């Protein structure tokens, strides 16, 4: 048992670190919730692409680097340690792309992935609906068969970055007569500027338009923009959900870097005699380390990890993220309530963690039923 990197992996880390040191903007970009900030972040995605760092785990043919799972974790460690910008392309690169690689056609991969890697097409997720949150299979938006494609209608909501994004991937009820709610769904891709689409920004707690409602009125989607078989969308979507909950979207490097900054804050700001705060800082450090080592363990095993393991990681990282930021705000004292400060913004972001990507209550159900073998029961 070891944690050693191969010479190739060590060289990969050094190359990533050197590139980031040279290219990460010295001054922070404008917030991505503004038109200017979004444009700046899109330009950063292009810079990443030109260095071939925008989608390291993808095959080279689509603009990736064919990085191994270990290298992908290493890249995220370096990326976050370098304090590099938020990735506005992350929902495409980390969620849609693995879905296309698993369920898409070669034509779809070749057409969709390269512009995604270049930051030309930024993707948003369009799953939740006003009446379908945790119970995603209760969704009501429909896909109606049309000549050469489908007409999408309905109301999607809580779609991150949809205010400025270009396209979205969503789930639609295409076969209303199916015997179970999660059957008869279709996974479809649509442009956010198509005729019939209305995007209405939604303010987060601090008012920033980080997400949006999407209204669709007979939006035409050609057959080539359906992922997987029509009617099989649930199975395709669950593959996306596994990416969303696991290490791909919220890599350990994000939390080890944040824990490192927390320790620095503690050393500079805390009363060393305050052992209650010290213990909370230590807990953040310990849990970030645990997540990192857990991920190393996952990539050391052959094959992909069981889907239900993503539920373990999702509960773990979302609670870690929140506790870590809460500790930082407590350390900051009176300054902790200044909403535009980095730690407060991070806390606002972390607050959503236990809710999105399937609430932690749903994840605990999955853990209990699939990993512990407890019987299914009615929720609640």
Partner 1 sequence: MRFALDDGQTAFGRSLDGMFAAADTPSAVRAWARGEHGPGRALWRRAADAGVFTLAAPGGLGGVGPLPVEVGVAFVEFGRHCVPGPLVETVAVMALLSRLAEAGEAAPAKEWVPKVCAGRARVTLAAPARAEHGPRAGRAAAPAGGPYAPAADAVDAVFVATAGAEDAEPGRGPVLRSIGPARPYALDADAADAVFVVTSSDGEAADGDAADGLWLAPGHGPVLPSVDPARRLAVPAAGGERLAAGPAVREAAAHARLWAAYATAAQALGVGHALLDRTVAHARRRVQFGTVIGSFQAVKHRLADALIGLEFARPLLYGAAVALAAGSPGARAEVAAAKAAACDAAYAAARTALQVHGAIGYTSAYELSLWLGKARALRQAWGSPEDCRRDALELPH
Binding site residues, partner 1, CB under 8 A:
1-6, 9, 70, 256-257, 259-260, 263, 273, 275, 278-279, 281-283, 285-291, 293-294, 296-297, 299-301, 312, 315-316, 361, 363-365, 367-369, 371-377, 379-380
Residue with smaller CB distance to partner 1, 160 or 359? 359
Tokens of 129: 């609906």
Residue with smaller CB distance to partner 1, 197 or 257? 257
The continuous run of DSSP H or E covering 298 comes out as helix 275-300
**Angle, CA of 22, 25 and 28, to the nearest 5°:** 155
What CA–CA distance (Å, rounded) separates 163 from 193?
Answer: 11
168 neighbors 144 (Cβ within 8 angstroms): no
How near is the Cβ of 73 to partner 1 at its closest, in Å?
10
What CA–CA distance (Å, rounded) separates 259 from 257?
Answer: 5
How near is the Cβ of 378 to partner 1 at its closest, in Å?
8
How near is the Cβ of 255 to partner 1 at its closest, in Å?
9
318 neighbors 360 (Cβ within 8 angstroms): yes
* Tokens 């070749």, residue located: 110
How near is the Cβ of 318 to partner 1 at its closest, in Å?
11
Query: Helices (DSSP H) in 128-180: which residue ranges?
Result: none
Q: Please indicate whether residue 244 is annotated as part of the active site.
A: yes
174 neighbors 186 (Cβ within 8 angstroms): yes
Nearest of 128, 126, 125 to residue 93 by alpha carbon: 125
Q: Which DSSP string corresponds to 100-164?
A: HHHHS-HHHHHHHHHHHHTTSS-EEEE--BTTBSS-GGG---EEEEETTEEEEEEEEEEEETTTT
Nearest of 83, 59, 88 to residue 72 by alpha carbon: 59
Nearest of 57, 190, 220 to residue 112 by alpha carbon: 190
Residue with smaller CB distance to partner 1, 144 or 293? 293
What CA–CA distance (Å, rounded) separates 53 from 87?
Answer: 12
Residue with smaller CB distance to partner 1, 36 or 267? 267
What CA–CA distance (Å, rounded) separates 346 from 205?
Answer: 13
Catalytic residue (choose from 40, 71, 244, 309): 244
How near is the Cβ of 85 to partner 1 at its closest, in Å?
21
What CA–CA distance (Å, rounded) separates 361 from 319?
Answer: 12
313 neighbors 247 (Cβ within 8 angstroms): yes
3-state secondary structure of 199: strand
Residue with smaller CB distance to partner 1, 110 or 286? 286
Residue with smaller CB distance to partner 1, 77 or 129? 77
How near is the Cβ of 138 to partner 1 at its closest, in Å?
18
Residue with smaller CB distance to partner 1, 123 or 316? 316
How near is the Cβ of 312 to partner 1 at its closest, in Å?
6
Residues with a catalytic annotation lie at: 244
């Amino acid at each position: 048992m070891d944690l050693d990197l191969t010479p190739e992996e060590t060289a990969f880390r050094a190359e990533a670190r050197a590139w980031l040191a040279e290219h990460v903007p010295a001054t922070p970009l404008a917030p991505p919730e503004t038109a200017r900030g979004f444009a700046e972040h899109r330009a950063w995605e292009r810079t990443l692409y030109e260095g071939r760092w925008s989608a390291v785990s993808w095959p080279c043919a689509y603009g990736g680097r064919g990085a191994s799972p270990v290298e992908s974790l290493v890249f995220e460690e370096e990326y976050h340690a370098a304090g590099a910008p938020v990735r506005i392309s992350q929902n495409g690169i980390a969620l849609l792309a693995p879905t296309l690689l698993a369920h898409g056609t070669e034509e779809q991969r070749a057409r969709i992935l390269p512009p995604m890697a270049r930051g030309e097409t930024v993707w948003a997720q369009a799953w939740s609906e006003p009446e379908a949150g945790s119970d995603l299979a209760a969704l009501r938006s429909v896909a109606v068969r049309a000549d050469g494609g489908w007409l999408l209608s309905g109301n999607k909501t809580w779609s991150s970055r949809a205010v400025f994004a270009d396209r979205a991937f969503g789930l639609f009820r295409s076969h209303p007569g199916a015997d179970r709610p999660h059957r008869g769904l279709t996974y479809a891709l649509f442009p956010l500027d198509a005729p019939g689409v209305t995007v209405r920004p939604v303010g987060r707690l601090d008012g920033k338009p980080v997400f949006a409602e999407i209204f669709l009125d007979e939006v035409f989607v050609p057959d080539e923009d359906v992922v997987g078989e029509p009617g099989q969308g649930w199975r395709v979507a669950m593959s996306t959900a596994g990416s969303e909950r696991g290490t791909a979207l919220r890599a350990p490097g994000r939390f080890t870097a944040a824990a490192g900054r927390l320790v620095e804050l503690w050393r500079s700001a805390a009363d060393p005699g305050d052992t209650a705060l010290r213990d909370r800082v230590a807990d953040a450090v310990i849990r970030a380390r645990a997540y990192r080592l857990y991920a190393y363990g996952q990539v050391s095993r052959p094959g992909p990890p069981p889907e239900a393991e993503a539920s373990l990681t999702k509960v773990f990282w979302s609670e870690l993220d929140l506790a870590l930021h809460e500790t930082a705000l407590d350390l900051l004292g009176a300054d902790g309530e200044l909403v535009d400060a980095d730690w407060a913004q991070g806390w606002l972001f972390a607050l959503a963690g236990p809710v999105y990507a399937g609430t932690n209550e749903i994840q605990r159900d999955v853990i209990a039923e699939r990993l512990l073998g407890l019987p299914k029961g009615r929720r609640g």
